[in-house]
């Protein structure tokens, strides 16, 4: 309960520092970044805490059996008690996600570049890309196990299939968003199609690439879980499946919580990568 | 830093986009070190003419000669209407773009461009991002990017069109001053009669589309010119003559 108290205390503390007009005075400026972060973090934290409190109350008041719906406190408690097993299953999931996402990035970039250079291939491939997204993963994933076994490959394929599309589309659109006048400028300088790509289209596509990356990365972890759920030796997905079968709903939900944390962390990581690879984007978006 | 400029001859350029004739026998020439402005009603094909000169569009007929030999793409340094400074490059690296595209080593290109930052009023902004520059500075950076390529003729397509009028006047004075210093040969597209008279040795007036040179006005005002010249009777006379020509040629 102490942790919840501490977290609950936070949303209460900012108001004194909040008034925007006071923050505008030069003396207070250094505190501003922290204030705005708290200000942004407070609403979602508050909402989550309210929902958890309501859940806790409902489970206790209605005396729901934990096999059906455990209380959030029980989920945290049991998750902590089984932290070793959870961690041991998180690692393989992270590994699969990383490999799958790397494959997806490579495929997405290759397709987008090829399509950017060849109008013919654009016409040929783009409909296929779209069609690939209509494949019902829920039916394909078990088949992958039949075809490729319980190893890394079927999972990597599922992740790549789910995530390469936003990356490829984000890049293709990013490339073609280049200002035609910038292309003219490059040509007047004596540059060919490659120079145009290198100096204009490629850097110009980075903002939409990073947007696509954020969408794709959130699919990646879910894709990994799904692939594992169908069949794996270890991983959060298969762990959830096993715990469900032994009616440990609390541990299923604890694994769900870990999945969410991992996804959010990877999502945050994309901003870090963006900051390193293309620091100018932040300034340009403002 | 300018190599000896050569005489440019434009002969009977004709161009149609599908059924729409745009250029209808445009002919003129430009002497070394000369500043020539091109005035014309909106949509008359001025920018298309620059596209042909910059080697971006092939004309249907006619040719462009440098001292009698066919001009290549490397004859003209083209500065488009938009500054097109890239946000992912620093100001310095924006100005070296043309040199890099031409295959020059980055370090050498930077050294060459850096030398011009002083005369272009950009000293100290080498490592800034384009977004940190004012409108006038952005145009100067774009012009620097054009000039540093060391082409025979600068093609300036309404370089000051997007600036407020005070900045524009300051930029015109500045251009008059640096051009005199470096001896550039310039072809300028503009809508602004006063700008054309202030900066030019000669002003060509294009007809409405399809364009041909409807009139040529020589501006015999002493150089270097300063704002005082705006009140000179010869200045007013040239302005009036150009306005008349433009009005007569515009079918409303």
**A203 and A144 both lie in a single domain:** yes
CA–CA separation, A110 and B110 (whole Å): 32
B101, A284: Cβ pair inside 8 Å? Answer: no
Task: Give A108's DSSP letter.
Answer: H
Picking from A5-14, A131-140, A252-261, which range would have the lowest pLDDT averaged per residue? A5-14
Determine contact: A181 vs chain B, CB below 8 A: yes
State mean pLDDT over A19-29. 37
**A49 and A148 both lie in a single domain:** no
- C-alpha A65: how far from its chain's center? 33
Name which of B56, B97, B101 is nearest A184 (Cβ-Cβ): B56
A184, B51: Cβ pair inside 8 Å? Answer: yes
In a domain, A70, yes or no: no
pLDDT of res. A196: 94
Determine contact: A55 vs chain B, CB below 8 A: no
Interchain CB contacts (distance < 8 Å): A and B: 60
In a domain, B115, yes or no: no
Q: Does the pLDDT value for residue A10 go beyond 50?
A: no
More confident residue, A2 or B37: B37
In a domain, A253, yes or no: yes
How distant is the Cα of B244 from the closest Cα of chain A, in angstroms?
33
pLDDT tens-digit readout, A261-286: 999 999 999 999 999 999 998 866 65
In a domain, A71, yes or no: no
In a domain, B140, yes or no: no
Domain count within chain A: 2
In a domain, A241, yes or no: yes
pLDDT band at B87 (very low <50, low <70, confident <90, very high): very high
CA–CA separation, A91 and A110 (whole Å): 29
**A51 and A183 both lie in a single domain:** no
State mean pLDDT over A68-95. 94
> What are the chain A neighbours of B56 within 8 Å (beta carbons)?
184, 187-188
CA–CA separation, A85 and A258 (whole Å): 12
Spell out the alpha helix ranges (H) of chain B: 46-53, 91-95, 97-101, 106-117, 135-147, 165-182, 193-199, 233-249
Q: Does the pLDDT value for residue B220 go beyond 70?
A: yes
State mean pLDDT over B142-169. 91
Name which of A186, A199, A283 is nearest B131 (Cβ-Cβ): A283
pLDDT tens-digit readout, A32-56: 556 677 888 888 889 999 999 999 9
**A193 and A267 both lie in a single domain:** yes
CA dist B74 to B27, B152, B182, B246, Å?
A: 20, 8, 19, 32
Query: Hey, is B179 helix, strand or coil?
Result: helix
B82, A283: Cβ pair inside 8 Å? Answer: no
**A219 and A120 both lie in a single domain:** yes
pLDDT tens-digit readout, A240-249: 999 999 999 9
**A12 and A113 both lie in a single domain:** no
Q: Does the pLDDT value for residue A12 go beyond 70?
A: no
Q: Please give the mean pLDDT across all residues of chain B.
A: 89
In a domain, A156, yes or no: yes
Nearest to A204 by CA among A179, A187, A181: A179
B98, A280: Cβ pair inside 8 Å? Answer: no
The residue of A189, A200, A204, A208 whose CB has the most chain B CBs within 10 angstroms, and thus the best one to mutate to test that interface, is A189
Nearest to A180 by CA among B51, B60, B143: B51
End-of-domain residue from the set A40, A63, A86: A63
Domain count within chain B: 1
B87, A280: Cβ pair inside 8 Å? Answer: yes
The model's pTM: 0.81
- The single residue listed with the structure tokens 């109008």 is A119
Name which of A181, A199, A203 is nearest B80 (Cβ-Cβ): A181
The edge-to-edge listing of strands for the beta sheet with B153-157 is B76-79, B153-157, B185-190, B35-39, B202-206, B213-218
Q: Please give the mean pLDDT across all residues of chain A.
A: 85
Determine contact: A283 vs chain B, CB below 8 A: yes
In a domain, B130, yes or no: no
Which chain A residue is nearest to residue B89, measuring alpha carbons?
A280
A191, B131: Cβ pair inside 8 Å? Answer: no
DSSP E strand boundaries for A127-264: none
The edge-to-edge listing of strands for the beta sheet with B20-30 is B20-30, B8-17, B61-66, B69-70
How distant is the Cα of A100 from the closest Cα of chain B, in angstroms?
30
**A54 and A86 both lie in a single domain:** no
How distant is the Cα of B224 from the closest Cα of chain A, in angstroms?
31
> What are the chain A neighbours of B143 within 8 Å (beta carbons)?
none
Token pair, residue B231, equals: 């009140």
pLDDT tens-digit readout, B205-218: 998 888 889 889 99
**CATH number where B40 lies:** 3.40.50.300
Q: Are strands B202-206 and B35-39 parallel, antiparallel or unpaired?
A: parallel
Q: Does the pLDDT value for residue A18 go beyond 70?
A: no
> What are the chain A neighbours of B102 within 8 Å (beta carbons)?
189-190
State mean pLDDT over B191-200. 92
Q: Please say whether the beta carbons of B55 and B66 come within 8 A.
A: no
In a domain, B164, yes or no: yes
State mean pLDDT over B201-206. 93
In a domain, B20, yes or no: yes
State the residue range of the domain holding B172.
8-85+151-249
Determine contact: B127 vs chain A, CB below 8 A: no
Peptide bond into B210 cis (omega under 30): yes
Picking from A214-223, A241-250, B40-49, B188-197, which range would have the lowest pLDDT averaged per residue? B40-49
B86, A195: Cβ pair inside 8 Å? Answer: no
Q: Please say whether the beta carbons of B27 and B14 come within 8 A.
A: no
In a domain, B124, yes or no: no
State the residue range of the domain holding A32.
2-63
**A109 and A222 both lie in a single domain:** yes
Q: Are strands B35-39 and B76-79 parallel, antiparallel or unpaired?
A: unpaired
A190, B101: Cβ pair inside 8 Å? Answer: yes
End-of-domain residue from the set A63, A88, A110: A63
CA dist A250 to A71, A79, A241, A282, Å?
A: 8, 8, 13, 41
pLDDT tens-digit readout, B59-86: 999 999 988 888 888 889 999 989 999 9
Determine contact: A85 vs chain B, CB below 8 A: no
How distant is the Cα of B28 from the closest Cα of chain A, in angstroms?
21
Token pair, residue B195, equals: 């700008």
pLDDT of res. A268: 92
Peptide bond into A212 cis (omega under 30): no
pLDDT of res. A37: 76
b/e per residue, B64-79, with b = 16+ CB within 10 A? bbbeeeebebbbbbbb
Q: What is the DSSP string of B27-72?
A: EEEE-TT-EEEEE--TTSSHHHHHHHHTTSS--SEEEEEETTEEP-
Question: Cα–Cα–Cα angle for A35, A38, A41, nearest 5°?
Answer: 150
**CATH number where A107 lies:** 1.10.3720.10
A182, B97: Cβ pair inside 8 Å? Answer: no
pLDDT of res. A284: 63
In a domain, B32, yes or no: yes
**A53 and A189 both lie in a single domain:** no
**A124 and A228 both lie in a single domain:** yes
Which chain A residue is nearest to residue B98, measuring alpha carbons?
A189
**ipTM reported for the complex, 2 dp:** 0.88
Q: Please say whether the beta carbons of B37 and B17 come within 8 A.
A: no
B88, A278: Cβ pair inside 8 Å? Answer: yes
Peptide bond into A17 cis (omega under 30): no
In a domain, A97, yes or no: yes
**A112 and A210 both lie in a single domain:** yes
**A52 and A85 both lie in a single domain:** no
In a domain, B197, yes or no: yes
Name which of A186, A189, A203 is nearest B88 (Cβ-Cβ): A203
């Amino acid at each position: 309960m102490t942790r919840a108290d501490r977290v609950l205390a936070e949303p209460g503390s900012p108001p004194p520092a909040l008034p925007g007009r006071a923050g505008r005075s030069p003396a207070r400026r250094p505190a501003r970044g922290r204030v705005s972060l708290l200000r942004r973090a407070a609403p979602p934290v508050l909402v989550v805490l309210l929902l958890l409190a309501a859940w806790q109350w409902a489970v206790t008041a209605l005396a729901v059996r934990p096999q059906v719906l455990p209380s959030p406190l029980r989920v945290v408690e049991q998750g902590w008690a089984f932290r070793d097993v959870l961690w041991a299953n998180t690692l393989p999931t992270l590994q699969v996600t990383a490999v799958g996402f790397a494959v997806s990035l490579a495929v997405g970039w290759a397709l987008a570049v090829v399509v950017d250079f060849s109008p013919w291939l654009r016409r040929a491939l783009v409909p296929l890309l779209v069609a690939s997204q209509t494949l019902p993963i829920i039916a394909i994933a078990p088949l992958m196990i039949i075809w490729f076994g319980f190893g890394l490959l079927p999972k990597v394929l599922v992740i790549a299939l789910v995530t390469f599309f936003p990356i490829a589309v984000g890049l293709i659109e990013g490339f073609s968003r280049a200002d035609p006048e910038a292309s003219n400028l490059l040509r007047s300088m004596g540059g060919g199609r490659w120079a145009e790509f290198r100096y204009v289209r490629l850097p110009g596509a980075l903002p939409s690439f990073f947007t696509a990356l954020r969408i794709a990365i959130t699919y990646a972890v879910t894709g990994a879980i799904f692939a594992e759920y169908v069949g794996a030796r270890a991983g959060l997905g298969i762990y959830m499946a096993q715990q469900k079968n032994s009616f440990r709903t609390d541990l299923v939900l604890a694994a769900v919580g870990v999945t969410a944390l991992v996804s959010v962390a990877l999502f945050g990581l994309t901003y870090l990568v963006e900051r390193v690879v293309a620091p100018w984007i932040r300034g340009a978006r403002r | 830093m300018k190599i000896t400029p050569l005489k440019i001859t434009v002969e009977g350029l004709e161009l149609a986009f599908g059924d729409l004739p745009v250029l209808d026998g445009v002919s003129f020439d430009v002497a070394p070190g000369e500043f020539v402005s091109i005035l014309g009603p909106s949509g008359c094909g001025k920018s298309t003419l620059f596209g042909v000169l910059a080697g971006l569009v092939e004309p249907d007929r006619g040719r462009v000669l440098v001292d009698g030999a066919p001009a290549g793409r490397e004859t003209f340094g083209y500065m488009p209407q938009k500054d097109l400074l890239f946000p992912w490059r620093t100001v310095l690296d924006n100005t070296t773009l043309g040199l890099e595209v031409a295959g020059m080593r980055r370090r050498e290109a930077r050294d060459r461009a850096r030398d011009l930052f002083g005369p272009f009023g950009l000293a100290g902004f080498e490592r800034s991002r384009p977004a940190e520059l004012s409108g006038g500075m952005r145009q100067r950076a774009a012009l620097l990017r054009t000039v540093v390529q060391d082409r025979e003729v600068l093609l300036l397509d309404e370089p000051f069109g997007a600036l407020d009028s005070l900045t524009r006047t300051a930029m015109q004075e500045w251009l008059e001053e640096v051009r005199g210093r470096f001896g550039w040969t310039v072809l300028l597209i503009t809508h602004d009669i006063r700008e054309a008279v202030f900066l030019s040795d000669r002003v060509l007036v294009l007809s409405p589309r399809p364009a041909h040179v409807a009139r040529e006005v020589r501006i015999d005002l002493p150089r270097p010119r300063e704002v005082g010249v705006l009140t000179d009777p010869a200045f007013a006379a040239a302005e009036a003559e150009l306005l008349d020509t433009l009005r007569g040629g515009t079918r409303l």
